[in-house]
Structure 1
Amino acid sequence: MAYLEQKNPIAETGIQVSPLGLGTVKIGRDKAVKYPDGFQIPEDDQVITLLEQAWESGINLIDTAPAYGRSEQRLGQLLKKVRREWIIATKAGEYFDAVSGESHYDFTPESLIKSIEHSLKTLQRDELDIVLIHSDGNDEHIIRHLGALEVLADLKQRGWIRASGMSTKTVTGGMLALEQSDIAMVMHNLQYQEEQAVIEQAAKLNKGIFIKKALGSGHLAKQAGTDTVQDNFDFIFNEPAVSSVIIGTINPTHLHDNINKAVKALAQ
């Protein structure tokens, strides 16, 4: 079995993450998701098996969010059965209503603090490793006018979180996030490179980069004679600033395949 030996530092936080992170939206939510194929939320034993597989393969990063339905709650319960030194990245700002199947956003300081308090409780942690602002696309307004990253910086000083950042949707937002925090989470793959400048800026500033939708949430076209996953991993991991690529799978076979191809890409 392939093993991800490499761990990448996040700015000056002391946090080191595996090149692949396990995204957990599918363990908590199956409504209003944008995957090409339907799926069933896995049972507890299936999640535990997946977590054990991830850890034994060198993955130490788990990505979650309040917007991922019951993901945080389930992780808080199930990680007690897979006791390892996990690095957990969660988010604040987007909230999911399981009844309506819709998200709403609130980036006021009061809401962000309440969200982080709730995440501490549901994840059953004394501090959160990483908290990212979960942007609705209005990155610059959220940062400049609502002061969301300033709230995270204050909570970092107070010992609530170890690293802060933002899951952005614009180049301006990514640049501002790198100025004011430790991490920018951006979309980047062979079919979308509009946030390349953010990745390059992270390399200059020694800040972290998380990659979301590296495989287009399963939508990247497959062409005969090509390996879409390998081609995208080769492309993404060629960027030295990339700290971790978040892969959202509940399929052990897919996880195994992703790990093998990430190891191959990293070895080049």
Structure 2
Amino acid sequence: MRYRELGNTGIKVSEIAFGGVEIGMPYALNMSNAKHMMAKDEAIYLLNKSLDSGINFFDTARLYGESEAIMGEAFKYKRDKVILASKCRHFRDSNGFLPEVSQIRSFVNQSINESLEKLHTDYIDVYMLHYADLEILEIDEIKEVFQELIIEGKIRVPGVSVYEQNETKLALEKGFWKVIQLPFNLMDQKHAVHFDKADQLGVGIVVRSVLMRGLLTERSFNLHPELKQVQDHVQQYKQLYSEHMNNLPSLAMKFAASINEVSSVLVGIDKIEFLEEAIKVFDGNYFSDKQLEKAKSLNFPNQSFLNLAQWDKNGWL
């Protein structure tokens, strides 16, 4: 396993970040039909196997079902060997409303204290806002309470999880958030315009959705008719295949790992086979400069169309 600096935080993380959502709740391409979830003992075994394989970076969230509790049990006596990332509860309620400013401090404190209890720890290495939209990023009180938690020793590094390119831009401009977790893959490369700036500022970039929830696998070859343009586009990536990258998943993961500004690549792992395959992929044998430029040129032309949540609502997944 290879390790990279997480921006200028002083933390070194494995190139693979273990994505904890799938061990804590049902998760699938079609979220409305997601039913499968690992048994607790299997999940604990998988987490320990991942740690033994060299993965030291584990990502979870307050809203990932039982994920925090399972990680807490798995790493209760191995806390010094892992880098834990978790996320605050969503600030917006089911109607999209934000809490009153006077409630923010108690909201954040309650969320992190719940996470600390579940994770069996007294600190979280990287604590993030979960979906930091533009309005949330402009609330100074959130930054203030995060700063207090850093002083108290409950947080080592503050971060944000974002979806949109302009959210990444604003998070960088704020100058406070030291880690940004964002979607990035062969199809959707729009956040890459901010990677140089993040590198200059020493902000760690952690990328997720490298397989687009399974679309950059063989599943993409039988999509809904409304997604024909996506299916046709995915076929183009076969021209990038080589001896070391002869299938879509390995190609997609190696592409993300080939970006110098990326500190770690989040991979959803819920089977030993997936872990073993990921370990083989992240071997340091990544894209050449020529291959990387070609891959960058093959991003999906209509970036705004790439909205999995909307596709799910439309019944296309």
Same fold (TM over 0.5): yes
**Is the contact between residue 51 and residue 82 of structure 1 (CA under 8 Å) also seen in structure 2?**
no
Answer yes or no: is 1:22 the counterpart of 2:2: no
Answer yes or no: is 1:173 the counterpart of 2:193: no
Q: CA deviation at 1:28?
A: 1.5
Q: Which residue of 1 aligns with 2:299?
A: none
Residues 234-253 of structure 1 aligned to structure 2 (within 5 Å): 234-253=254-273
Q: Partners in 1 of 2:98 and 2:209 — Cα distance?
A: 23
Identity of aligned residues (%): 28
Higher helix proportion (structure 1 or 2): 2
Classify the secondary structure of the residue corresponding to 1:67.
Answer: coil
Which one-letter code corresponds to 1:130 in the other structure?
A: V
Classify the secondary structure of the residue corresponding to 1:66.
Answer: coil
Higher strand proportion (structure 1 or 2): 1
Q: Partners in 2 of 1:110 and 1:146 — Cα distance?
A: 15
Q: Partners in 1 of 2:46 and 2:278 — Cα distance?
A: 13
Q: CA deviation at 1:106?
A: 5.5
Residues 179-258 of structure 1 aligned to structure 2 (within 5 Å): 179-220=175-216, 221=220, 223=235, 226-258=246-278
Q: Residues 203 and 62 (structure 1 numbering): CA distance in 2 closer, same or farther, change over 3 Å?
A: same
Alignment size in residue pairs: 256
**Is the contact between residue 106 and residue 112 of structure 1 (CA under 8 Å) also seen in structure 2?**
no
Residues 20-169 of structure 1 aligned to structure 2 (within 5 Å): 20-30=16-26, 33-36=27-30, 38=34, 40-80=36-76, 85-94=81-90, 108-135=104-131, 139-145=133-139, 147-169=141-163
Q: Partners in 2 of 1:81 and 1:109 — Cα distance?
A: 31
Q: CA deviation at 1:8?
A: 1.7
**Is the contact between residue 204 and residue 263 of structure 2 (CA under 8 Å) also seen in structure 1?**
yes
Q: CA deviation at 1:147?
A: 3.9
Q: Partners in 2 of 1:82 and 1:152 — Cα distance?
A: 26
Instruction: Give me the CA root mean square deviation.
Output: 2.7
**Is the contact between residue 62 and residue 68 of structure 2 (CA under 8 Å) also seen in structure 1?**
yes
Q: Residues 266 and 149 (structure 1 numbering): CA distance in 2 closer, same or farther, change over 3 Å?
A: farther
Q: Which residue of 2 aligns with 1:261?
A: 281
CA distances 1:139-190 after superposition (whole Å, capped 9, x unpaired) = 2110113643343233112211001110011222212323221101111101
| TM-score normalized with structure 1 length | 0.85
Answer yes or no: is 1:7 the counterpart of 2:3: yes
Q: CA deviation at 1:18?
A: 0.5
Q: CA deviation at 1:134?
A: 0.4
Which one-letter code corresponds to 1:144 in the other structure?
A: E
Q: CA deviation at 1:67?
A: 1.0
| TM-score normalized with structure 2 length | 0.72
Classify the secondary structure of the residue corresponding to 2:81.
Answer: coil
Q: Partners in 2 of 1:47 and 1:267 — Cα distance?
A: 32
**Is the contact between residue 47 and residue 74 of structure 2 (CA under 8 Å) also seen in structure 1?**
no
Larger radius of gyration: 2
Return 5+ residue gaps in structure 2 as ranges: 222-234, 289-317
Which one-letter code corresponds to 1:206 in the other structure?
A: G
